[in-house]
Chains A and B, each alone.
Chain A
Amino acid sequence: MSRFRKFVLAQGVAASALLGAFSVQAAPLELAVASSPSGLDPHIVTAFSSFQVIDGTVYEGLTALDENLAIVPGLAAAWEISEDKKTYTFSLREGVTFHSGGVMTSKDVAASLQRVMDEKTGSPLASRLAAVESVETPDPSTVVIRLKAPSAPLLSSLTSIAIVPAKYLGDTESLQRQPDGTGAFRFVDWQPNVAIRLTAHEGYWQTGLPKLEGVTYNIVPEAATRQVGLTSGQYQMLPNIDAVTALQVKAQPGIKLAETLELAYSLVGLNVTRAPLDNPKVREAINYAINRSDLVQAALFGAGVPGGPLSPALEQFATPTSDFACFTPSVDKAKALMEEAGVDTPVELKLLVLPRDDTKALAQVIQQQLAAIGIAVTLDIPEIGKFVQDWRNSDFDMFVSLNSGTIEPDDYFYRTFRSGGSTNVFKYANAELDALLDQGREETDPAGRREIYGKVQGMLACDGPAVFLTYGQLYTAMRDGVDGFTIYPNRSLGALKSVTLGK
């Protein structure tokens, strides 16, 4: 490994290399996760179950996120942005090798971006590269991305675009089963519904990493079984668990928890083409009727916070919820608004529920809260496939679901709330908001962006098409002896590369 020592660049890397000198005995780390990924192609799958297996562990992007969600160099050691903000020049890190062998060059980077943009790939990430006009590779260690128009979110978008060998351009099958990236861990095998095994990538560019011999993701769908497995020492880590599980393992001896406020959030979506939800007053009434603290208590077991349109974790953008009047629950105000809107109560509405334990719990509390203002809610809890279909076809009065959330306001707001946006299932159309969103996309000055997205949040919070509910606390439970782990609000397990496993 010392072969690569000379390539070490960033000071953070040097620090971890120093730590590496005291490296504890290496052994595979046994994780237990709830669900099996549906595939492992980083450009195709988006589910958490896939993400936490490959993001930052097997795959890396040109840029990366630290645990505070700030953008840091990834496979690009540095970059320059042109005066007109339309040309980004990335200098690639040297000595980066793929798991299948071969050194990463600018050709691989260009092919990876191409692969995401290629319609045949059908990548859900394609929209994040919508501003890209061309990708050039003047030499093996330089990539130039030219944009059609300035795009503030580009660097954050690039964190989510994994770099894969150029040979996979046009191949949408292989990577689903056999990942091949540059990360600290190399894919070994995947026994469906049993386990996914990763092993240390010997040629990893960061010297001294990973410290583990490997990582095994045991797929254990039953919460109680995972918990007993952790206390019995069969598993050493339960990553990204919710408060219920955390509460139950916390009391056990020899277990410690890492926690952070999660980026994902829950929301109630309203179909604004259906009466009475087409009336902004009714939407505001619903906001007033919902008691978010009760939701946090009942559905998140007290571990979470009420949340507005942006995660409080995004400190630079998020407007504090205390600024939104409707976040102080008031049944009286809600009733008054319903009356102003001229709605004959009781009005019957159907709530489509994402079939997860936490969203089912939210739905049941919301049902009770809305009953107080004369909205009789019936719950419709289909299985996941049906949910997705009804959601996509806007075949609902209301839905309650969990959204993964992103670090970039534009990425989320634009496709979700702009008229005609790809995930604007609410059918919401607001010209004023559209103008703001278009503006925010091209504005690159941080202060200007903050102002624009402050206005956007104000417009969405109380009578927008979504009732923003809660942000949960995210936990990772570990046995004593597992050290060096950092929990990420976006559920990435990239920090596994610096984890050590003591006795």
Chain B
Amino acid sequence: MLRLLRGRLVDLGVVLAGVSVLAFAFIRLIPGDAVAIMLGANAEVTPERIAAMRTRLGLDLPIHEQYVTWLSGVLRGDFGVSIWTGKPVIDEIAAHIWPTLQLTVLALAAAVVLAVPLGILMARLRGRRGEAIVQAGSVVGLTVPPFWLGILMILALATFAPSLQLLGYVPFSEDPLGNVSRLLLPAVALSLPITANLARLLRSTLLEAMQQDYIRTARAKGVPARAVLYRHALRNALIPFVTSVGIMAGYLLSGAIVIEQVFAIPGLGRLLLGAIAERNYPLLQATILLVTTAFVLVNFLVDLLYALIDPRIS
């Protein structure tokens, strides 16, 4: 186990180093003079101002020096300051990470709550008449574009309940109830594909578990089918279920970037698209690096968890 852990940790280090190089490279690969773009549409963008901005951002150094300077700052917890607001990048990210986290957690919670009964239902329908419809329904859930669903929700809201205040964003600190109620629609839109995914996973693991010897034994001993399903099969099926919940994090983040745009939620997606548009080097680098690192760590932990639970994986 320790050896496994050490190997995984080395892999993790390599991946994170690679991620940092890519995060650093992206914005530098963008064609055009990013600094001129950064300074905006003003007519008075002089070569002197461009040079001054370059020096301020350290962009006049050789590229490898820039990388080393940046990385050593990052390792000390210094991600630089945002070009426009002058605030530390880390503060900007902290301000935008909450809506995204809230949205993600809400969506995940909704998905888990819905997926368990749905998955059981789908497993029990195996071989019965409604199966095809439920199966097709689950694929629809899997492939419905969340942003389209969001637009439909807005349209429905405007048509049927124009006086309900369910859109926009209110900080939690100002109005906790208003904050959560305004995140409901986007969370539901975002959760549908994962609900479908988890339900389908639960169904297949349940069905698989039902074939295991110990379940057959239990049934042979006269334990009623329903009891077998709930007491034994479900418990075992939950292991892959729980681990795949972790894997959903990446999907959720991707979905959240788009959903935030539809529902005007000031989360990481907005931060990211804004940073690209204004060529905000420090902000973009740090956002990509931090988000991806978080994502890598979640996957790493899930991996470890999986290895702990299932000794066959090595």
A contact residues vs B (CB 8 Å cutoff): 32, 36, 38-39, 46-47, 119, 122-124, 126-127, 173, 176-177, 191-194, 218-222, 224-229, 231-235, 252, 383-386, 388-389, 391-392, 415, 422-423
Contact = CB atoms under 8 A, between A and B. Distances in A.
B41 A388 contact: yes
B167 A228 contact: yes
A190 B32 CA distance: 31
Contact of B266 (A194, A234, A383, A422): A194
Contact of A224 (B41, B86, B96, B158): B158
B262 interface: yes
Contacts of A123: 44
A229 B32 contact: no
B270 A193 contact: yes
A92 B37 CA distance: 39
B36 A233 contact: no
B58 interface: no
Contact of B40 (A219, A227, A388): A388
A224 B167 CA distance: 10
A392 B85 CA distance: 25
Contact of A122 (B46, B86, B96, B270): B46
Given A124-B43, A176-B86, A234-B165, A227 B158 contact: yes
B167 A192 contact: no
Contacts of B264: 219-222, 225-226
Interface residues of B, number: 50
10 contacts: A39-B85, A127-B43, A176-B85, A219-B266, A220-B168, A224-B154, A225-B154, A225-B264, A228-B158, A388-B40
Contact of A222 (B87, B171, B263): B263
A123 B39 CA distance: 11
B96 A193 contact: yes
Given A192-B92, A232-B165, A252-B162, 15 more contacts: A36-B274, A39-B85, A46-B40, A46-B42, A119-B48, A122-B42, A124-B44, A225-B168, A232-B162, A232-B164, A233-B163, A233-B165, A384-B277, A386-B32, A423-B43
B214 interface: no
A233 B266 CA distance: 20
B151 interface: yes
A383 B34 CA distance: 12
Contacts of B278: 38, 385
B84 interface: yes
Given A386-B32, A386-B37, A392 B86 contact: no
Interface in B21-53: 31-34, 36-46, 48-49
Most buried by A among B84, B96, B271: B84
A482 B192 CA distance: 40
B291 to A, nearest CB: 16
- Is chain B's interface secondary structure helix, strand, loop, or mixed overall? loop
A222 B262 contact: yes
A270 B64 CA distance: 42
Contacts of A252: 162
A479 B164 CA distance: 15
Nearest to B82: A192
B139 interface: no
Nearest to B95: A192
Q: Would you list the 5 A-B pairs with minimal beta carbon distance, nearest first? A: A385-B37, A193-B266, A124-B42, A422-B43, A222-B264
A385 B277 contact: yes
A389 B40 CA distance: 9
Most buried by A among B36, B43, B87, B166: B43
A219 B87 CA distance: 19
Interface string B84-127: 11110000100110000000000000000000000000000000
A497 B266 CA distance: 28
B158 A221 contact: no
B279 interface: yes
A221 B270 contact: yes
Contact of A232 (B38, B48, B155, B167): B167
Contacts of B165: 229, 232-234
Contacts of B270: 193, 221
A127 B46 CA distance: 13
Contacts of B163: 231-233
A225 B158 CA distance: 9
Most buried by B among A38, A193, A233, A252: A193
A327 B257 CA distance: 45
A415 B43 CA distance: 9
A383 B33 contact: no
Nearest to B43: A422
Contacts of A229: 165, 167-168
A46 B40 CA distance: 9
A123 B49 CA distance: 11
B276 interface: yes
Contacts of A46: 40-42
Nearest to A395: B32
A228 B162 contact: yes
A426 B270 CA distance: 34
